[in-house]
Structure 1
Amino acid sequence: MIVPRRPPRLTLIVVFVFVAVLLLYNPYWLSTPVVVLKSPDSPQHHVRFRPSSFNWSAVRQFYPISDAITPLPNGRPLRLPRVQNVYGAANPHPEATKRQKAVRDVFKKNYDSYKRYAWTHDELTPARELGDMLYMGFDTPNRIPGFWLNFEDAKKGTQLAGLHDPSTSPCSLSLEFTRLSQLTGDMKYFDAINRITRFLERTQYQSKLPGMWPKMINFREERVDTDNGFSLGALADSLYEYLPKMYTLLGGLDKTYEKMYVGAMAIVEQHLLFRPMTEDDVDILFAGDAYIYPDRVDHIAEGQHLSCFVGGMLGLGGKLFAIDNHIDLGDRVARGCAWAYDAMPSGLMPEIFNLIACSSMTGNCRWDEKRWEQEGDKRLRKGFKNARDPKYILRPEAIESVFLLYRMTGQQDLQDIAWNMFQSAIKATRTEFANSAIADVTVPSDETQKTDSMESFWLSQTLKYYYLIFSSPELISLDEYVFNTEAHPFRLPT
């Protein structure tokens, strides 16, 4: 039920569910008959929300669960390994307070403009009603939702799982539905995603690249051997991101997530991570793609801004499961994304780009001028083949990983890297009222074309991570919270 990471459609609905949950928190408030969404500064008309005329919580399930609903794991949460670095009482960077204020000022300008010109034009509705509506997406013969949640099909009982859907589609609701069960006490939400988890567990080694799931899956027939493409980027990202995060949110009580993470990352390290060839032989990594054929594996040295989350994921998995190598790999991925920012004239990373890959992730990677002349794009820094999709849409994944690796390792230079990224983003995207996506990062920052678009993740994710990297490390400690894919912090069980 989800398209690439941070997409429209159901992912956004899930975000709104949990913004509402976190704001309202008390599930009994959700029965309030009328909610007035109001901003004192807004020139727009106020919007009065009334519950849907269709009661999703009372609708008949056409394919009811025949066995018992699976509850949240029982038992006291485990004492998980410390994720966050041990810091002193004060933030170690002398410029942190000033930089934090600069981020806050940008957020305030953007949010004030949002309130004035867009308030009440988005979709924020009570969490339980939305949760019940989303739950209806699972009313299929095999309890796996389709790509689209069609209201009429849901009412008529004609929904089916997809034959060729993005793997992340039903697989990135895990944290949200688990949290909804934790807050409401209604186990049906956790049961719904637990069935998806068991499907993943059962099929992990049945794909054409055993250990990983392909970008596209035949969910209706529950087959993972029909697609030959594998990635951590668009179409697959949150599936993998949520493996260590679910382990954390469940207090370490379900080892399935650890097992699936370790198995998948072994293949990622072997087939997807690559080191780019650079003039100065910098030790960085990116997450590419792999395509499996009967006689070969094609490794594609393509970077995506979306896949920059991999740095933070590897760092978290390394900390939780005592895999020191993963912390190092995550650090190299985070620094690779920061390098891609710095490599562009605007100081911002393209949405999608291709690089010239080294033959190995380790050891020296000698610069090959002849190869660069044959394969490289002469308009870009040496090492790049192209900027296939040159736009920047205010995405958060790069600063997300830089922030997480800073909190995990305490490396102070990551704060300086983050500050340079922030300054580049503001300079290239600033408008009169807020900040805008830009069409092309391969031009200088004062020549960028603004596309008059500001995705919600600019406020909810990107600026949040910039703010937090300059905040006291105890503000939303990684040992007390886990972030979902939309950067909402969920408190961990104690």
Structure 2
Amino acid sequence: MFRIRRYRLFVICAAVVVFLLYRAGHNSAWDDGGGASLHDTSLIPPDARPKHDYQPPEKEKSRPRPADYEDEPAGRLAHPPPGEQTVVKIPDLKTSLEVKGSFGLPTPTLPQIRTTSVAAAPKKVEVLETSSYLPAPTKAAVAGEIPDRDPAKLDDVVGIDGQNEHVLHIQKPPGKHEEEPIPVASPSIIHWKRVPEHFPVDSIIPLPTGEPKTIPTVQYKFQEESAVAKEQRENRLAQVKLEMGRAWSGYKQYAWGHDEVKPVTKAFNDPFCGWAATLVDSMDTLWIMGMREEFDDAYAAVRNIDFTTTPYRSEIPVFETIIRYLGGLLAAYDVSGGDEGKYPLLLGKAVELAEILMGVFDTPNRMPVLYYNWKPAFASQPQRASTSVSVAELGSMSMEFTRLAQLTGENKYYDAIARITDAFEEWQNRPNGTALPGIFPQQIDASGCNRTATAARNAAREKAKAQAAADLVEPQGYTPASPGDDNKSGMPKLQRKPDIEFSVKPGSSPDEPGTGEIKKIARRDGASSAVDEAKDKAAGLASNSVPENVPPPTKHNHGPLSKTGQPIDWDCIPQNLTSGAYGLDSYSMGGSQDSAYEYFPKQYLLLGGLEPKYRAMHEKTIEAVKKYLLYRPMIQDETRNLLFSARVFSRDGTDQSLTADFEITHLTCFLGGMFGLGGKIFNRPEDVDIGARLADGCAWAYETMPWGVMPEYSAITPCKNVNDCPFNETWWHDRLDPNSEWRITQMKQYELRVEDWKVDRQKALRNEAERQLALEQVQKSRPQNITTEEEEELAQTTLLETEVPASDPTVPITEDLKDRDSLNKRDIDFTSTAAEMEEEVELAVARQNLDDEQIERKVKALEEELALNSANVGHDSSSRNSADQILMGGKNFLPPEPVRPTTHEEYVANQIKNAHLLPGFTSIHDPRYILRPEAIESVWYMYRITGDPEWQEKGWRMFQAVVKATRTEVAHSAVDNVARPELAPEPLDNMESFWTAETLKYFYLLFAEPDVISLDEWVLNTEAHPFRRPR
């Protein structure tokens, strides 16, 4: 019979175990990563346009809007209910436009427009409509003369010898971590999760709507080509496609699903979160080249990309992610047919990625965080943009988010980048905003927080608080004296507060020692005690005691809030964009700045000309570039009128004391295409001509190098006069050696030192000749076969009987011995041994008997012997000094010969030889070639714009040289040095995704038919991803 009382403990334990096992089997919280599928499409919005064949799953239904939100303006972004989480609204910041009323170059603004709701299930999206817009500025562009560059003020900051801080010229700014990441083992995968916004906007900026404006034609009207020209073009086209197939095959075999292939070691690398950067970046190239099978393989692989997690990086490099991944997905979607195509997942994955990236804009001023801590523990915290970001990183997001907004109908994507554009526009129009009006410094403070002013304000607040606390103390009036008190005045006593009071208490008996103690230090009496107590109360501290029962700390989502509703640490004086450098601003069209300016005219095209601010910003930039940056290089071929863009530095925030580095960088080569494109769409023919000269400059930089490939970064001698620039070797050498005058002075001083040295040398030779002759006579006069004891005795006798001269080294011995009576025994050095002193005496006596003819013969013999030794060991001054030491058994009796300085001519010759400098070049700081596309990009633009077949010839020579230098067994690799004529470039085992996304694409389009990616139908982002223009 079962006895429940006996087994009750067993039954209870069994029940508990069963219950725990049941809960463990149904507890989804054990697997944090289980909530996100690799194929999760929940982030894909429903199609706002019925033409889409692709219908993503329905999004999670939004919560009903509370009553307080019913009166919000149309188009306002929906927010979580107030009870879910405390949110902080962005304060309206006053801009310089609002404060000062006007700018130097005003930008036309849109008139008041009406809104109308357009149905888009499952929620409404407010879309703007208008029937009229202000026309674009019609003021004719003034042809800008390129000024002569004053070489007297150049290179004060970046020396041409590279001794000063080297300016890095990097590919569109990379992520913070370039080393190969190591995945960290974890029991569960962490995924990004959507979090409520901390700084939501009150309303969103919508896409401009209306009929696209008429924009001038960009492409040249090509005529039908001949059969011979067509055959040659198609042969070249096939060779480019063959190299693309080679690179793609190597990636697919050795790095499929990873970011990059290592084309030498046949491994892979994942610097961009491991989301298959080469695959996504190259999909539109595959489609354009007709590689449909490869495109389908890549499309299938895109399904497996999970943008919500990465084991390789804790921070997402926002700029690179946008231009490579987001731009690549949108372009592949566009070129493959868009909403009429068969690849809807491309848009879905683009939205998935964009939803993650939208978190970077959740800052007080909506300027993005450019390295995004995507993990929920970090992403859920309030954040602020950095105080040091590059122009390119901040300004190169507009095209991608604009195109995404156009395809999805979601204005929030456009709103995110429109605020950045507005910030740049305000800064560009701000009086004295930058040293070069129209161009921004390389480093920007995008935090929106004036820390200097905030610190000063906080200090003033603390001072006022302390003063207020002191004013709260009531003055102490008359107090009557108590009986026995010596203070008869009735005024309070003032006691000096001791630092430490030590007292000795005597023992209870004479035999017991005393004890010491430190007295308790109490507060000072009187007014100061009251002041201290008031200060403590003002700081929120208990002045007398601490509560016995202290409540446990509570967990808050945010820190304590100020009266404005913002966290205390975030309460600062707001500011707009400003320089993020410390005392030295850098301005250029090169790395870290380039693509921000590139996007001004391209964004104008993408919006169909409906947003005039982009034209105004482009034209201001172009005028500044022509005024401050463009220069003509001094080259031997005077028939080629080339242009490059320099880097300029300002120390004082003005253009009054600029210095320049006349650089030739690969990244700056995009500028020719930008000038050409902007010149066509804005009817500025002089800009097209400048663009052709810039593009030709980069083509020349390829042609002039020994391997036909342009290095990353070099510098060249500028022309003194842009209209008349013959090659001047003297001017080039002066640029190579800016210290030539100092070297001339050094050489003159050296010649004077040599004359003095020759005199001293002759004196030393004569002194040595006398010494050797005297030594020979002494040795001959000594008796033969004398014992050691006898020699010592003879030395003692001679020492006592002979007077010796004073041992003054500054007086020649021959002069001392003219008077024998002047010898004195007390001048003898008694520290020497008796034999040594005896020998010195004998030598002194023997030198008196030498005649001049005998001495001269000895001097001549010494000179001949020195000359023979010098011939054996070398001819420079150090070798001659060694020869002197050999002659004297290691003791050099001659004064050292002055070291000859390097002459100006010798220094220049060494510079040219060691750095492999070609005529006109002053340095090659970075001789690598890393598969960059910017030069061929501008060549392609100029061919499509002008129709001149010479651009195809230049591009073909570039292609042949690049492939020869970079081809490996399985793909293509960046190389270490293209400037050494005697050594072939060595591979660096690196193939970035822009090789297949940009470089090979531009080579292919150069030889494709003109209607393939026509510039009148497409606009390309900075990663060469084509977006379809509005029709």
Query: What range is the shorter-chain TM-score in?
Result: 0.7 to 0.9
Partner AA of 1:196 in structure 2: I
Which residue matches 1:79? 214
Is residue 713–residue 927 contact of structure 2 (8 Å, CA) maintained in 1?
A: yes
Which of 255, 269, 280 lines up with 1:118 in the alignment? 255
Q: Secondary structure at 1:149's aligned position in 2?
A: strand
- How many corresponding residue pairs? 449
Is residue 91–residue 473 contact of structure 1 (8 Å, CA) maintained in 2?
A: no
Q: Secondary structure at 1:204's aligned position in 2?
A: helix
Is residue 428–residue 446 contact of structure 1 (8 Å, CA) maintained in 2?
A: no
Is residue 391–residue 437 contact of structure 1 (8 Å, CA) maintained in 2?
A: yes
Which of 717, 720, 727 lines up with 1:359 in the alignment? 720
Q: Is 2:997 aligned against 1:460?
A: yes
Which residue matches 1:16? none
CA distance in 1, matches of 2:442, 2:1006: 32
Is residue 207–residue 214 contact of structure 1 (8 Å, CA) maintained in 2?
A: yes
1:373 positional shift: 2.3
CA distance in 2, matches of 1:91, 1:410: 15
Which residue matches 2:441? 214
Q: CA deviation digits over 1:388-423, x for unaligned, max 9?
A: 111000000000000011000111100000000000
1:106 positional shift: 0.6
Which residue matches 1:474? 1011
Partner AA of 1:117 in structure 2: Y
Residues 446 and 368 (structure 1), Cα distance of their counterparts in 2 relative to 1, 3 Å cut:
closer
Which residue matches 1:266? 623
Q: CA deviation digits over 1:212-234, x for unaligned, max 9?
A: 11111111132334542111111
1:29 positional shift: 6.4
Q: Is 2:353 aligned against 1:130?
A: yes
Residues 53 and 161 (structure 1), Cα distance of their counterparts in 2 relative to 1, 3 Å cut:
closer
Q: Is 2:65 aligned against 1:65?
A: no
Please report the RMSD computed on the Cα atoms of aligned residues, expressed in angstroms. 2.1
1:155 positional shift: 2.3
Q: CA deviation digits over 1:228-257, x for unaligned, max 9?
A: 211111111111000000000000001100
Which residue matches 2:688? 327
Partner AA of 2:200 in structure 1: P
Of residues 302-311 and 214-223 in structure 1, the stretch that sits farther from structure 2 once superposed is 214-223
Partner AA of 2:192 in structure 1: F
Partner AA of 2:624 in structure 1: I
Partner AA of 2:683 in structure 1: A
Select the structure of larger CA radius of gyration: 2
Residues 101 and 204 (structure 1), Cα distance of their counterparts in 2 relative to 1, 3 Å cut:
same
Q: Secondary structure at 1:102's aligned position in 2?
A: helix
Residues 350 and 32 (structure 1), Cα distance of their counterparts in 2 relative to 1, 3 Å cut:
farther
CA distance in 1, matches of 2:357, 2:664: 32
Q: Secondary structure at 2:426's aligned position in 1?
A: helix
1:446 positional shift: 6.8
Q: Is 2:612 aligned against 1:385?
A: no
CA distance in 2, matches of 1:32, 1:366: 70
Is residue 476–residue 489 contact of structure 1 (8 Å, CA) maintained in 2?
A: yes
Which residue matches 2:675? 314
Is residue 181–residue 188 contact of structure 1 (8 Å, CA) maintained in 2?
A: yes
CA distance in 2, matches of 1:429, 1:219: 39
Which residue matches 1:6? none
Which of 192, 201, 225 lines up with 2:416 in the alignment? 192
Is residue 103–residue 463 contact of structure 1 (8 Å, CA) maintained in 2?
A: yes
Which residue matches 2:971? 434
Residues 128 and 226 (structure 1), Cα distance of their counterparts in 2 relative to 1, 3 Å cut:
closer
Which residue matches 1:167? 391
CA distance in 2, matches of 1:461, 1:29: 32
Which residue matches 1:369? 729
Partner AA of 1:162 in structure 2: S
CA distance in 1, matches of 2:360, 2:439: 25
1:346 positional shift: 1.3
Partner AA of 2:626 in structure 1: E
Q: Secondary structure at 1:296's aligned position in 2?
A: coil
Which residue matches 1:40? none
Structure 1 runs of 4+ aligned residues shifted over 4 Å read: 25-33
CA distance in 2, matches of 1:476, 1:278: 36
Q: Secondary structure at 1:290's aligned position in 2?
A: strand
Is residue 271–residue 299 contact of structure 1 (8 Å, CA) maintained in 2?
A: no
Which residue matches 1:400? 937
Counterparts in 2 of 1:186-265, with a 5 A limit?
186-205=410-429, 206-221=433-448, 222-227=576-581, 228-265=585-622
CA distance in 2, matches of 1:401, 1:32: 44
Residues 198 and 27 (structure 1), Cα distance of their counterparts in 2 relative to 1, 3 Å cut:
farther
Normalised by the length of structure 2, the TM-score is 0.42
1:375 positional shift: 3.0
CA distance in 2, matches of 1:215, 1:387: 22
Q: Secondary structure at 2:249's aligned position in 1?
A: helix
Normalised by the length of structure 1, the TM-score is 0.87
Q: Secondary structure at 1:385's aligned position in 2?
A: strand
Q: CA deviation digits over 1:431-490, x for unaligned, max 9?
A: 111111000011249711101111111101000000000010011100000000111110
Of residues 199-208 and 316-325 in structure 1, the stretch that sits farther from structure 2 once superposed is 199-208
Of residues 213-222 and 441-450 in structure 1, the stretch that sits farther from structure 2 once superposed is 441-450
Identity of aligned residues (%): 41
Which residue matches 1:13? none
1:147 positional shift: 2.8
CA distance in 2, matches of 1:32, 1:141: 32
CA distance in 2, matches of 1:232, 1:154: 35
Which of 701, 711, 728 lines up with 1:350 in the alignment? 711
Partner AA of 1:285 in structure 2: L
CA distance in 2, matches of 1:31, 1:444: 61
CA distance in 2, matches of 1:147, 1:304: 25
CA distance in 1, matches of 2:622, 2:442: 15
CA distance in 1, matches of 2:982, 2:423: 47
Is residue 311–residue 332 contact of structure 1 (8 Å, CA) maintained in 2?
A: yes
Which residue matches 2:288? none
CA distance in 1, matches of 2:580, 2:1024: 33
Residues 31 and 328 (structure 1), Cα distance of their counterparts in 2 relative to 1, 3 Å cut:
farther
Is residue 978–residue 984 contact of structure 2 (8 Å, CA) maintained in 1?
A: no
CA distance in 1, matches of 2:982, 2:692: 27
Is residue 315–residue 326 contact of structure 1 (8 Å, CA) maintained in 2?
A: yes
Q: CA deviation digits over 1:57-95, x for unaligned, max 9?
A: xx21111012x2111111100121000011124489442
1:299 positional shift: 2.3
